[in-house]
Amino acid sequence: MTDSDREFLNRINKYAEEVLKDIDPQKTPISFQLEKLKPVMNELSEETGMKLEDVFIRYMDLASEAGIEAENKLKDDLGPDVDIEIRT
């Protein structure tokens, strides 16, 4: 993941922490969560010239990549003798 990718992802995640802080993501429909993220995604769309749908796709791809990186780091930190599976 590039620095630009991390900045993009972090910007949406920071916004999400603010606007979604009082909801339970397991009980809240994804459509509601995405609607709450629409303002920051619109800003990124305008700044980058990307379609809103492409901003969403990039965000989802980067979030998945970040999750894999976090899982691999955790596995490295725990050592080779620990076999874990992280489910999301």
pTM for this entry: 0.79
Residue 27: CB atoms within 10 A of its CB come to 6
* Token representation of residue 40: 């920051």
For residues 34-49, average pLDDT: 96
- Please answer whether residues 59 and 9 qualify as being in contact, where contact means their C-beta atoms are separated by less than 8 angstroms: yes
Q: So where are the chain's domains?
A: 3-78
* Token representation of residue 77: 């930190």
Higher pLDDT, 77 or 21: 21
- Please answer whether residues 48 and 55 qualify as being in contact, where contact means their C-beta atoms are separated by less than 8 angstroms: yes
Contacts 24+ apart (CB under 8 A), 24-33: none
| pLDDT tens digits for range 50-72 | 999 999 999 999 999 999 998 88
